[in-house]
Chain A
């Protein structure tokens, strides 16, 4: 799939994944990979940015194996942001679909 498509929706997918339950980085990468095939490196910068913009809160929790993990938690403003993104996405998708249908119907 087009790499630019993936980048566009990555934010929405990450926000939605964390909304259900708090996750740590690697877990989140795996969850996102279920939906779209994405370069693992790009998720961390995204998480960083969303944290800097206060859409995520982070906390450390001990794990059974290895060092403590950094968990991401969606804040209230993060939820609002997710909802607005979803709305935008729905609208965009609908418009594009309608456009494509119209075009193909004309010929």
Chain B
């Protein structure tokens, strides 16, 4: 059967429905056929998968609760007759699936054998290298920050932790060029912090102005609310306007509180940076642990 024939026949059965509904249904089916054709099936095959057109139309009409004589014709009734065997059937199928999955896995294991072990080791090693490179920028950033602070005299005493970090990062910045690099890094750090300071100043100024404006508007509406409610008490028909003013007062109060949260406080920025670094460390930590455990397992 061709697509056009199928749609025509289906349309014939759906005449009881409104025109838009008919079109909607036919659209869905023709789209479905198109998609099947894209998958490489022929038009006939795609349509055959729908089953008999009459039965299909009957099921569609059931969805609208229309005309019992149509439903009778299409043979409903049998719907839930055999459902009590359902549980067992489903269970069996799932059991079949899981057992076949297990056998696949075993096969794969046997196939890989010794080579598989080697491949796994190489993959693990590669993974560790990649993580190290990902971590590199953070290590450098940390080191640069420390050096710059020390130069400024903010970080007089070197803690144990800092020493550890420097030992780690020292591998990266080795050799005679160290002092030049440090100087450049310090300069960049200085530049970055001054730019960020300017940005913060500008941003906070904008937020301050916005907040002030919102507060002023809120106060204005509060006064309006007061005045209008007095008039309303006297009998003017101003109930709606008074309610509106009340709403506006609440709204502006909430908005001004919201805008207060937009102030850029300095601690936030540094907190975020340390959070990022600590995240990297926490990602690293468990992975190392896991690697160790796996190594131990392998040894056994």
Q: Is the CB of B86 within 8 A of A45?
A: no
Given contacts A48-B63, A49-B63, contact A25 B28 (CB under 8 A): yes
Number of interface residues of B (CB under 8 A): 35
Q: Is the CB of B80 within 8 A of A8?
A: yes
Q: Is the CB of A39 within 8 A of B83?
A: no
Q: Is the CB of B31 within 8 A of A66?
A: yes
Q: Is the CB of B60 within 8 A of A67?
A: no
Binary interface encoding of chain B residues 68-88 relative to chain A, with 1 for a CB under 8 A from any of its CBs, else 0: 000000000011111111111
Given contacts A4-B78, A45-B60, contact A100 B28 (CB under 8 A): no
Cross-chain contact of B86 among A46, A48, A93 (Cβ < 8 A): A93
Give the distance to chain A from B151, nearest Cβ to Cβ, in Å.
Answer: 54
A7 to B82, CA, bound (A): 10
A44 at interface, CB cutoff 8 A: yes
Residues of B within 8 Å of A45, CB to CB, are 56, 59-60, 62-63
Cross-chain contact of A92 among B24, B51, B62, B87 (Cβ < 8 A): B87
Given contacts A2-B82, A4-B83, A25-B32, contact A46 B88 (CB under 8 A): no
Which secondary structure dominates chain B's binding surface?
helix
Residues of A within 8 Å of B38, CB to CB, are 65
Q: Is the CB of B59 within 8 A of A5?
A: no
B142 at interface, CB cutoff 8 A: no
CB nearest to B55 among chain A residues = A41
A4 to B31, CA, bound (A): 27
Binary interface encoding of chain A residues 39-67 relative to chain B, with 1 for a CB under 8 A from any of its CBs, else 0: 11110111011001000000000000111
B132 at interface, CB cutoff 8 A: no
A65 to B31, CA, bound (A): 11
A3 to B31, CA, bound (A): 26
Give the distance to chain A from B284, nearest Cβ to Cβ, in Å.
Answer: 33
Cross-chain contact of A44 among B60, B83, B89, B91 (Cβ < 8 A): B60
B133 at interface, CB cutoff 8 A: no
A9, A40, A52, A97 interface centre (most CB from chain B within 10 Å): A40
CB nearest to B24 among chain A residues = A70
Cross-chain contact of B25 among A29, A48, A66, A97 (Cβ < 8 A): A48
**Residues of B2-50 whose CB lies within 8 A of A:** 24-25, 27-29, 31-32, 34-35, 38, 49-50
Q: Is the CB of A44 within 8 A of B25?
A: yes
Given contacts A39-B50, A45-B56, contact A5 B31 (CB under 8 A): no
A46 to B49, CA, bound (A): 17
Q: Is the CB of A9 within 8 A of B64?
A: no
A49 to B66, CA, bound (A): 12
Residues of B within 8 Å of A93, CB to CB, are 86-87, 90
Given contacts A4-B79, A39-B50, contact A96 B31 (CB under 8 A): no
A4 to B83, CA, bound (A): 7
A49 to B71, CA, bound (A): 14
Give the distance to chain B from A104, nearest Cβ to Cβ, in Å.
Answer: 10
B106 at interface, CB cutoff 8 A: no
Cross-chain contact of A97 among B49, B51, B62, B91 (Cβ < 8 A): B91
Residues of A within 8 Å of B84, CB to CB, are 96
Beyond A25-B28, A44-B28, A97-B87: 14 further Cβ-contacts under 8 Å? A2-B82, A2-B89, A4-B78, A4-B79, A4-B81, A5-B86, A5-B90, A8-B86, A39-B49, A40-B49, A48-B63, A66-B31, A67-B31, A96-B87
8 pairs of A and B residues whose beta carbons are closest in the complex: A49-B63, A41-B50, A45-B59, A4-B82, A93-B87, A48-B63, A96-B87, A41-B56
